Amino acid sequence: MDMLIEKIKNHVPLSPADEEMVKKLFHKKIIPKDEHLLEAGQVCRHLTFIEQGLVRYYLFTSGEEQTHYFNKEGEWVCDYQSFIPKLPSIVFIQALEDTTIWTISYDDLQTFYREVKYGERFGRLGLEQVFIDIIRQIDSLYSDKPEVRYEKFIKAYFDIAQRIPQYHIASYVGVKPQSLSRIRKRISSQS
């Protein structure tokens, strides 16, 4: 809970009463490795904060898994296009390790926005960052070659790259694992 409160405080001030509200509204869960926080077809009902662990977002395209995103400690997890309008998700969110999370339901998040002095500001800042991340990812998918996408992956996820199986990294980059091996060799030979 301390990490969650500090993460919120990085964006907005919290009074002692606000901190108590956070403690009341968020609930701790442990998700075992390989379990899903969300599956396609389900409605995303929680905004989640990762205290410890790692997750990936993926979907099925042409019968294959395609990894779109990773989240680690200190980051938020949510399928906003399901969570906000309460529609079935098209993505899966899976724990890649045993993962400790803090969750808040949609209704409790609305209480957070109303009751915490700067709650709505916190929500706006969070969604602005999500929007920027999504636009960058879309731009990269359409304009970057796989080698550039891998280099961007290493820069963005340098601290967790060793914790992610290579076939998930290959899927994220948009290549087969064998092609990722060739890309990695080419990059290491240039160093």
Q: What's the pLDDT tens digit per position in 71-100?
A: 999 999 999 999 999 999 999 999 999 999
Question: At 99, phi and psi to the nearest 5?
Answer: -130, 125
Q: Which CATH superfamily is 2-130 part of?
A: Jelly Rolls (2.60.120.10)
Task: Give the pLDDT of residue 27.
Answer: 98
Question: Cα dist. 94→38, 46, 57, 163 in Å?
Answer: 7, 14, 7, 14
DSSP 48: E
In tens, the pLDDT along 153-179 reads: 999 888 898 999 999 999 999 899 999
pTM greater than 0.85? yes
Question: Any idea where the domains of the chain sit in the sequence?
Answer: 2-130, 144-191
In tens, the pLDDT along 5-61 reads: 999 999 999 999 999 999 999 999 999 999 999 999 999 999 999 999 999 999 998
pLDDT exceeds cutoff 80 at 107: yes
